[in-house]
Amino acid sequence: MRQITAPQLHDLLAGTDQPPLLLDVREPWEFELARIEGSQLLPLGQVPVRLDELDPARETVVICHHGVRSMQAAFFLQSRGFKNVINLAGGIDAWSREVDPKVPVY
C-alpha cells in the first residue's frame, strides 16, 4: 500500500493542475469539524455500496482521522481494481499538526 505524509500531500496538491481525489472516509460529524479543502466525504461503511461513484483510474488519496480507516478503505479499493490508491499516513490529525494548524485537532 502506498502512503503519503501530510507535507508530501501538501506539496503534491500545490504542484499539480490535476489533483488527486481526496476521499475522506470519516463520519459526517468529523468531516464537518475538520477537513482538507476539496476533499469528498464517503464514510467507510458506505464505500462498498457507493463504489460506482468513484473512478478506478483516478489517483485517489484516502483520508481518515489517524490513518487506520483510510488504510482499510484503500485496501478495499485496491481489491476492487483501483490501481492508484494512496493512504494519508497520520490522517487529518497529521495534516492539522504538520501542514494547516487552522484545521482543528480533535
Q: In the numeric block, which cell numbers belong to residue 81?
A: 481494481
Query: Are the beta carbons of 47 and 76 closer than 8 angstroms?
Result: yes
Task: Say whether 53 is catalytic.
Answer: no
The active-site residue out of 54, 64, 85, 92 is: 64
d(Cα 71, Cα 67) in Å, to the nearest integer? 6
CB atoms within 10 A of CB 44: 18
d(Cα 94, Cα 88) in Å, to the nearest integer? 9
Q: What is the dihedral angle through the alpha carbons of 78, 57, 93, 40, rounded to the nearest 10 degrees?
A: -120
Catalytic residues: 64
